[in-house]
Amino acid sequence: METLSPDSGSMDSDIYRTLGLEELRKGVLRSPRVLMLLSSLLDRSVQKNEMLLETTQIKDVVTIFHGLRPPTVSIRNYVDRIFKYSACSPSCFVVAHIYMDRFLQQTDIHLTALNVHRLLITSVMIAAKFVDDAFFNNAYYAKVGGVSTEELNRLEMKFLFSIDFRLQVNVNTFGKHCYQLEKESAGGLQIERPIQACRIKESWSSKDDSTACSSTIAR
């Protein structure tokens, strides 16, 4: 895989710095700007798609990524939680966005409040495995995401097969998505409408929290 590091001296280094992608150290406390922009972009996409589904006769495809009801945590808080506890590099969120785009293009699924959280935790986990030198296992990511390990394992396999295991991301594609995220900053203020997501607590116990997210409709 071509290096996605902003230290490569490419012409995109300025936008990498603006998005906070130079914060590659594990355990970084400051929230990189890319998290806010990605959250805003996904939130706007969700609202657009839900309006489309409400005003047309289009039937959304139900998959294992769909919950029975929307979660209560906002996309922004969910993204922040993943970043805080997974300690993955900020670049993983750009790569995860690329993977989500590939998944949606390969399927007839619309990004909605019922599936965005599961798609997020799955794509970020896969991106961390592919991009970062060190990463946590599925059981840890399941606790971070508020789902059971068994469910996350199923989500990962479904996601990978849906994109035909196309995990390679070249520098041009990475840069294109960085510019897309940067353009989001000119698209309006961050939308803070909670979309009802998984009931994830700031800290968790050693008990199985498989009920943190509403059950999926399809298995």
Q: How does pLDDT run across 176-191, given as a tens digit for each residue?
A: 999 888 887 666 444 3
Measured in degrees and rounded to the nearest 5, phi and psi for residue 216 equal -75, 155
Structural tokens at position 132: 């970062």
User: Letter for the amino acid at 49?
Assistant: N
CA distances from 1 to 4, 39, 71, 131, 166 (A): 8, 26, 35, 9, 12
**Is 9's pLDDT higher than 60?**
no
Q: What is the pLDDT of residue 4?
A: 56
The pTM of this model reads: 0.78
Q: What is the pLDDT of residue 204?
A: 35
CB distance 198 to 213 below 8 Å: yes
Residue with the bigger pLDDT between 9 and 72: it is: 72
Q: Which of 26-30, 65-69, 166-170, 205-209 has the lowest mean pLDDT?
A: 205-209
Residue with the bigger pLDDT between 47 and 193: it is: 47
Q: How does pLDDT run across 17-74, given as a tens digit for each residue?
A: 878 787 544 445 578 999 999 999 999 999 999 999 989 878 888 999 999 999 999 9
The CATH number that domain 30-187 falls under is: 1.10.472.10
In the predicted model, what is the mean pLDDT of the chain?
81
Q: How does pLDDT run across 80-90, given as a tens digit for each residue?
A: 999 999 989 99
Q: What is the spatial distance between Cα 140 and Cα 42, in angstroms, rounded to a whole number?
A: 24
CB distance 61 to 211 below 8 Å: no
Residue with the bigger pLDDT between 135 and 108: it is: 135
Q: What is the pLDDT of residue 61?
A: 85
CB distance 142 to 148 below 8 Å: yes
**Is 123's pLDDT higher than 80?**
yes
Q: What is the pLDDT of residue 184?
A: 75
Q: How does pLDDT run across 83-120, given as a tens digit for each residue?
A: 999 989 999 999 999 999 999 999 989 999 999 999 99
